[in-house]
Structure 1
Amino acid sequence: MTQVIFLPHDELCPDGMVVEVEPGVTLCDAALAQGVEIEHACEKSCACTTCHVVVREGFDSLEEADELEEDMLDKAWGLEPESRLSCQAVVGDQDLVVEIPKYTINQVSENH
């Protein structure tokens, strides 16, 4: 099992969260399984940027983003060099520290 630390986010997980995740699971699925309701407006099909996260530690252990993900990330709010779409970032065998940005770009958000 791989440890994934979600840093505190005011709305989604105010105290942060540490979870054990099987390698092969996406960061989005790992968050959702623990009740962290990270947005995923495109239903995890790599067609939006609402599940954008920043991998603060362990970024290099993830497989590289493909061209489609890179193109989508260019549209994300608060893009950083360690940014990934959590629906595409698959957990490996190295522990990760993940930050969920304060804002997302979701023009059709149903929860707002």
Structure 2
Amino acid sequence: MPVIKILPHPEYCPQGAELKVATGTNICEALLDNGIHIEHACDMSCACTTCHVIVREGFNSLNEPEEVEEDLLDRAWGLEPQSRLSCQAIVARDNLTVEIPKYSINHAKENH
């Protein structure tokens, strides 16, 4: 089973974490199933950017992003070349290191 190492995040995972996950799981599901309550305002339907993560290690082992994901990522806060929407990034056999950005663009949470 691959391991996802989550870098510390002050709100979602202050101590960081290491999660053993099944191949074929998306990163968002893996986080949620392990008590890391990352935002996912569109219920993982690839319609927002609230589950944006940066894959620090293992990026090339993930499935290729589809055009709709790439278009949405253009709106994500803190976009980097290794950015993915965690709801669309499928874990393969390689271990991953993932960073949850400090901010997200979530109008519901921000009361807009």
TM-score, normalization: structure 2?
0.97
The residue that corresponds to 2:69 in the other structure is 69
* CA-based RMSD: 1.1
Take 1:36 and 1:106, find their aligned partners in 2: how far apart are those partners? Answer: 17
The residue that corresponds to 1:105 in the other structure is 105
The residue that corresponds to 2:14 in the other structure is 14
CA deviation profile, 1:39-90 (whole Å, cap 9, x unmatched): 0000000000000000000000011100000000000000000000000000
The residue that corresponds to 2:25 in the other structure is 25
Q: Which sections of structure 2, spanning at least 5 residues, go unmatched? A: none
- 3-state secondary structure, aligned to 1:35: coil
Q: Which sections of structure 1, spanning at least 5 residues, go unmatched? A: none
Q: What is the identity, as a one-letter code, of the residue corresponding to 1:80? A: E
The residue that corresponds to 1:41 in the other structure is 41
How many aligned positions are there? 111
Q: What is the identity, as a one-letter code, of the residue corresponding to 1:22? A: A
Q: What is the identity, as a one-letter code, of the residue corresponding to 1:109? A: K
Shift of 1:110: 7.5
* Structure 1 runs, 4 residues or longer, greater than 3 Å off: none
